[in-house]
Structure 1
Amino acid sequence: MPRPRRQSREALQATILAAARHILAQDGIAGLSARAIARDIGYTPASIYTVFDSMSDLLIEVNRDTIAQLAKMLAHHGTAEAPEAGLRAMLLGYIAFMRENRALWYAFFGGLREREEFPPWFTDSISSLMESIAAMLRAYAPALDDATALRHAEQIYAAIHGAIALDIDRRLDLVTRQSAEDLALAALDAMLARLGA
């Protein structure tokens, strides 16, 4: 194999991240390693660590793109004229996104937690996702204060996530015959009924 041309650090980072996403899509999280990425891009495994301190840091960067895609989807549904319809579309869109991107889902939520702290941009991005859901809840129930809306957003997200996590891991049928969509919509309906009461 011919030796690859030397790339700038930024270009090498983009090449590594593209390879990581490709490997995740093909082989899942179990197939992702510095050696596999190096083989894919024609570099040595050590070159990966000139850009990323660890594989955990590399995964955090892969997850940046996943969060951006989720934020775009939430923003799209947040513009719905009817808040309830927007919330339902967001919920179903999230489930569809995670089903279609199982490898990204596993990269984001799967495996052992390898770090105690995450970069501020990462936690801020997740907080922003929760704020988007909270804004939709406030549009539905304008009397909600910010803290209560955020708490409800976290609860509905956890309910949706639990349903899709069981579904993606092929464990949902051990608990229920209902689909992830049915469970998540029921949780949303129950919350909206409480908020509308």
Structure 2
Amino acid sequence: MGRRSDHSRVELHALILAAGAALMAETGLSDFSAREVAKRVGYTIGTVHNVFGNVDGLVMAINTATFALWADALEARLAGAEQDRIAVLVDAYFAFARDNPLRWSAIYEHRIAPDAIPEAQGAVRGRLTGIIVREVAAALDRTPDAAVGTLARSLVATVHGHCAFAVSGSWEAMGERDVEGAALARVRESLAAAR
């Protein structure tokens, strides 16, 4: 089954990662299978493990790729925004979750110790937070510092909670309709208090 001589290690990494990301988008984390990824690329499960260490290594790499995709989506949305960039960020957060629900959810469902994330992947993941810290600092007319970083992370948690309720349908089940508007209102209140 394996075609070990067909691809270099770098090519295998890219091939397996792409197939894994596609499968994650179809199944989510709960039904994700490294064996299915191996089948899709025409290699053995041993090859997948050889390249990524184990299924956690593969899922971690897929989630890191999702973070990169998400950061790119935020930057693209912000590129055309001259005013109310905070509203653009909140809208972009919800849009990414709506457009990529299973990949978005997999980021939060995959439990792994923060110190287990390789430094290079941590940098890719941190880019998303960096964008948000930058925009929160600009909205407050402040220089990004530890306090702004803490506030930005808290605002992400606020928006994330609202977004998770929207994606799961819980928000609507509570009789509420404008989850994104509510999230933005909470963010605005927090920013006003921080000013």
Q: Same fold (TM over 0.5)?
A: yes
Rounded Cα–Cα distance in structure 2 between residues aligned with 1:166 and 1:153? 20
What letter is aligned with 1:161?
Answer: H
Contact 2:61 2:121 in 1 (8 A): no
The runs of 4+ residues in structure 1 deviating greater than 6 Å are none
**CA separation of 1:23 and 1:157: change in aligned 2, threshold 3 A:** same
Contact 2:68 2:125 in 1 (8 A): no
Indicate the RMSD between aligned Cα atoms, in angstroms. Answer: 2.3
Per-residue deviation, 1:145:
5.8
Per-residue deviation, 1:170:
2.9
**CA separation of 1:147 and 1:78: change in aligned 2, threshold 3 A:** farther
Rounded Cα–Cα distance in structure 2 between residues aligned with 1:64 and 1:145? 24
Number of the residue aligned with 1:142: 141
Number of the residue aligned with 2:187: 188
1:49 aligns with 2:52: no
Identity score, percent:
27
What letter is aligned with 1:20?
Answer: G
**CA separation of 1:143 and 1:28: change in aligned 2, threshold 3 A:** closer
Task: Summarize the alignment of residues 1-20 of structure 1 with structure 2, pairs less than 5 Å apart.
Answer: 4=3, 6-20=6-20
Rounded Cα–Cα distance in structure 1 between residues aligned with 2:97 and 2:41? 27
Q: Deviations over 1:39-68 (max 9, x none)?
A: 212221111111011111111111222111
Q: Which runs of 5 or more residues in structure 2 are unaligned?
A: none
Give the 3-state SS of the residue equivalent to 1:49 in structure 2. Answer: helix
**CA separation of 1:21 and 1:142: change in aligned 2, threshold 3 A:** same
Rounded Cα–Cα distance in structure 1 between residues aligned with 2:164 and 2:85? 22
Q: Which runs of 5 or more residues in structure 1 are unaligned?
A: none
Per-residue deviation, 1:174:
4.9
Q: Which one is further off, 72-81 or 146-155?
A: 72-81
Task: Summarize the alignment of residues 98-177 of structure 1 with structure 2, pairs less than 5 Å apart.
Answer: 98-111=97-110, 113-115=111-113, 117=115, 118-143=117-142, 146-175=145-174, 177=176
Instruction: Count how many residue pairs are aligned between Structure 1 and Structure 2.
Output: 192
Per-residue deviation, 1:92:
0.4
**CA separation of 1:119 and 1:194: change in aligned 2, threshold 3 A:** same
Contact 1:131 1:153 in 2 (8 A): no
Per-residue deviation, 1:176:
5.4
